[in-house]
Structure 1
């Protein structure tokens, strides 16, 4: 693999400034991943706050049960043994449980977590365990029920689970029927290219997928297949056994709910005052907690001391809500702003690995950490890659294109190239003919109007009809030019669909299996062999 640093715009000015260490954003976060002293300070604070977190041994016991079910590698069990030590820390990051591991960025995030943990352990001289947080409590089914594979057209084709949940329940509680799973597997088989490792990939995916009742379980098994050997511990945020341990934290969130809301709103104002946009909603009266009612995950709001959802399906006073928590902790769930607090209450988090969007909304949570007597951990950006296959690279070189050319927009360059293939200069001929038509026709219309004014609109209409015929003829000539260069234009399309599918970065669209079917699991392990490069967050990999 040939690795080249490249710029990939993230779309978040706040995250970009944080990654670069710009002075005006540091007060919004506190610690910074580029500052070595911040790691030492964070370790000291974690040691001081050990008693404030949920009992370490209870958490490890819960994680051991879960990982034995879905990620039972010897290296993972060893990581859990290390995590049980009082001096152990963690690097953690997470993602929603997408179909067939979802987007490539999931793989890159897991790799970053593992490598950052190893790097921190070497730096600090104490155990640092990698933990991946599977966001199984999230309920947005449409965000996770699909992935994309590039076919031979070329185009990005969606594979989608045809499951239609009746209610907005957590992903980890939406069952998959054998028929639905088989349908998705057959579609994957149809779309994957006939390549050296295709049979191995299909067997690997089938083993994990058909042995799972829920999408989150299959997601965990697939991640384990790639990263279990590196000791990556998995955690499902919807694990009912974990939820029992989290009860005291939910109690504190409810008891301090007004203070938490004020902290989120204050942080949001500071972010706006610094000139940045808000990346997550901070709703007036928001409790920032979900309640699961009859299989539906409802976001709670407060009004006049009463907690309820917007549609009035549930209503609790604060005392009633606390009583319900004691009876049924499994019915409570975090939202995007309280999950960071729960994560820090469960685990001795040295640092958390985040994408740019996550880095932006985490700024809203800093003061909320303080309400619960915690501190925001160090935020580390995840590694980012674009995979460039040999045939795509060949076409890029052939047309004199760079990665940045493609990011900046391929269509204008493709149109310019096609126009350059018009050796007869037909485009210029039609432009000149169109201009001459208007010049010749205007005097005719003007003179006809002297005879009778009603002839002016008739003449203009007649002129426009002739112009339409010119447009039609020019389009036919252009279509003939396209047909003549069809093979070359498909090469242009391949470059665009490969590197910027659906107008989005490759890592936000395609499944890893599109590439492991061609290059094998060695591709993932090759990425694991790359060093973390905080100066070049994004890199292109020429396969």
Structure 2
């Protein structure tokens, strides 16, 4: 693939907070540990090595061995599982929901970023070993967010009732989805490979956790990816002391609330991504994941009859840690407690809430990971690239909102000048003299002069818009072609990576898709990638 890029801030798709973070704004430095530059990993390694409980390694590897039981794994993944026992081995983590057939395309980009970063760190720090990890969000309970994917502009959906953690859901009904997918994919060689992958993952495994583990292992296992399921009793036992401080002392609620206030002081444009709760844990059983709340000394599981005294809840936590499921605030800490992790790789929304968490980590005496924005990409075919060139466009133009994009290009290609800025400037100069005249003669006329200026400027704006509209009609064919190419590459007026499923690219590139992405995406690029094939 040919690779080009544009700065994230020029795409218009990333928040001010994330753009400021990428610019390493000084005021944001208290909210993260170290910025993910290659040279900063040496200190991160030292800190994590000193802070990470070495006894956790044996528990981690033992749990992972159980989770991989019955699954064929690559030599590379086997080597990485073994390496996790060693004191000089560290992880790089990304996490994601159990979206049907991976969901949006950026799921692949997250894992590619993670694998590539471990490769680069291995080159930079040869005395250490680095393992890429995908954290499955098996305990998430928002089924409506994960039960579909888009294929050829159509929504392929798994229709069923669901409650509790999605990882526990059986795969009932996915045979019907498979029939839909098969009909839509066609009968090419690559289509048959995709059908087989879907069938083996979802029709030959009993629940969504097992299906997703199989699917991701098939896609990335040869590159050494290790897949972690946090819904594990042995791993949850390591979380118990931290869950106690959350449930009974409300430390994360206090610290994250303070951090949100501090972020708002840095800039009122920073939007709060997630708000902490007094208790950041759910009670988890099959078919049930409900919040734990405290009222008057009694701890209740919402929407159930379950109630505990403080002593009873402590006993439940120690006896059944697997029944306590961390929410979006507590889960990042869980990850960093059980893994010898250096870096979390996520999208803009994820990093925004991670930036709320550092003081909470400090209070819990857990090393805060480095935060790296995942790779983002727009994939363009050679045919689409030729269309863009024939229309005398730059790819960066296509990131503009459609109306802005069309107006900008019409102004550029029109054979008449549609920009009335000179007339507006002349008008302002004329009114400047009228203001001076009114001030010297009768100041009561200042209001009338101002009203007349506003009226005439509005008149010029209206004329400019009418002229622009007329030129759009005149250049209708070009407008249609420009709109068509933008709609192709930005389906539903959104980033391609948020709409397309990987299967559409796989139909074209087959097994070469993931190697091509691994070769093309640089985790340290700091820019939005444009990939042409």
Tell me, in whole angstroms, the C-alpha distance in 1 between the residues paired with 2:250 and 2:237. 24
1:243 counterpart = 2:236: yes
Residue 278 of structure 1 and its aligned partner are, at CA, apart by: 4.0
Tell me, in whole angstroms, the C-alpha distance in 2 between the residues paired with 1:269 and 1:312. 34
Contact 2:3 2:520 in 1 (8 A): no
Residue 17 of structure 1 aligns with which residue? 20
Tell me, in whole angstroms, the C-alpha distance in 2 between the residues paired with 1:258 and 1:88. 33
Residue 225 of structure 1 aligns with which residue? 218
Tell me, in whole angstroms, the C-alpha distance in 2 between the residues paired with 1:244 and 1:494. 55
Tell me, in whole angstroms, the C-alpha distance in 2 between the residues paired with 1:34 and 1:416. 37
Among 284, 295, 300, the residue aligned to 1:303: 295
Residue 65 of structure 1 and its aligned partner are, at CA, apart by: 2.1
Residue 2 of structure 1 aligns with which residue? 2
Contact 1:64 1:77 in 2 (8 A): no
Contact 1:149 1:510 in 2 (8 A): yes
Matches within 5 A, 1:180-259: 180-192=173-185, 195-255=188-248, 257-259=249-251
Residue 465 of structure 1 aligns with which residue? none
Contact 1:288 1:338 in 2 (8 A): yes
Tell me, in whole angstroms, the C-alpha distance in 2 between the residues paired with 1:213 and 1:494. 43
Residue 439 of structure 1 aligns with which residue? none
Unaligned ranges ≥5, structure 2? 414-471
Matches within 5 A, 1:239-388: 239-255=232-248, 257-275=249-267, 276-283=269-276, 286-292=278-284, 295-309=287-301, 311=303, 313-388=305-380
Tell me, in whole angstroms, the C-alpha distance in 1 between the residues paired with 2:401 and 2:327. 36
- The alignment partner of 2:273 has SS state of coil
- The alignment partner of 1:534 has SS state of coil
Residue 271 of structure 1 and its aligned partner are, at CA, apart by: 0.9
1:534 counterpart = 2:524: yes
Residue 458 of structure 1 aligns with which residue? none
Matches within 5 A, 1:113-128: 113-124=114-125, 125-128=127-130
> Structure 1 residues 278 and 308 mapped into 2: Cα distance closer, same or farther (>3 Å)?
farther
Contact 1:10 1:16 in 2 (8 A): no
1:172 counterpart = 2:135: no
Residue 293 of structure 1 and its aligned partner are, at CA, apart by: 5.4
Residue 161 of structure 1 and its aligned partner are, at CA, apart by: 0.6
> Structure 1 residues 13 and 314 mapped into 2: Cα distance closer, same or farther (>3 Å)?
farther
Unaligned ranges ≥5, structure 1? 151-155, 422-477
Residue 398 of structure 2 aligns with which residue? 406
Residue 193 of structure 1 and its aligned partner are, at CA, apart by: 5.7
Among 29, 32, 43, the residue aligned to 1:29: 32
Structure 2 length-normalised TM: 0.81
Residue 345 of structure 1 and its aligned partner are, at CA, apart by: 0.5
- The alignment partner of 2:280 has SS state of strand
Residue 47 of structure 2 aligns with which residue? 45
The C-alpha deviation readout for 1:253-308, integer Å capped at 9, x for no partner, is 434x322211111111111111143433325x521111125622112233343333
Matches within 5 A, 1:144-155: 144-150=146-152
> Structure 1 residues 338 and 76 mapped into 2: Cα distance closer, same or farther (>3 Å)?
same
Matches within 5 A, 1:125-140: 125-140=127-142
> Structure 1 residues 402 and 93 mapped into 2: Cα distance closer, same or farther (>3 Å)?
same
Contact 1:98 1:215 in 2 (8 A): no
> Structure 1 residues 407 and 110 mapped into 2: Cα distance closer, same or farther (>3 Å)?
same
CA RMSD of aligned residues (A): 3.0
Tell me, in whole angstroms, the C-alpha distance in 2 between the residues paired with 1:328 and 1:524. 40
Residue 429 of structure 2 aligns with which residue? none
> Structure 1 residues 493 and 89 mapped into 2: Cα distance closer, same or farther (>3 Å)?
same
Residue 24 of structure 1 and its aligned partner are, at CA, apart by: 1.5
Residue 403 of structure 1 and its aligned partner are, at CA, apart by: 2.1
Tell me, in whole angstroms, the C-alpha distance in 2 between the residues paired with 1:412 and 1:48. 53
- The alignment partner of 1:197 has SS state of helix
> Structure 1 residues 490 and 364 mapped into 2: Cα distance closer, same or farther (>3 Å)?
same
- The alignment partner of 1:72 has SS state of coil
Tell me, in whole angstroms, the C-alpha distance in 2 between the residues paired with 1:352 and 1:415. 40
Count of residues in Structure 1 that have an aligned counterpart in Structure 2 = 473
Structure 1 length-normalised TM: 0.80
Tell me, in whole angstroms, the C-alpha distance in 1 between the residues paired with 2:356 and 2:206. 36
- The alignment partner of 1:539 has SS state of strand
- The alignment partner of 2:183 has SS state of helix
> Structure 1 residues 312 and 220 mapped into 2: Cα distance closer, same or farther (>3 Å)?
closer
The C-alpha deviation readout for 1:77-103, integer Å capped at 9, x for no partner, is 110011111221111111111111111
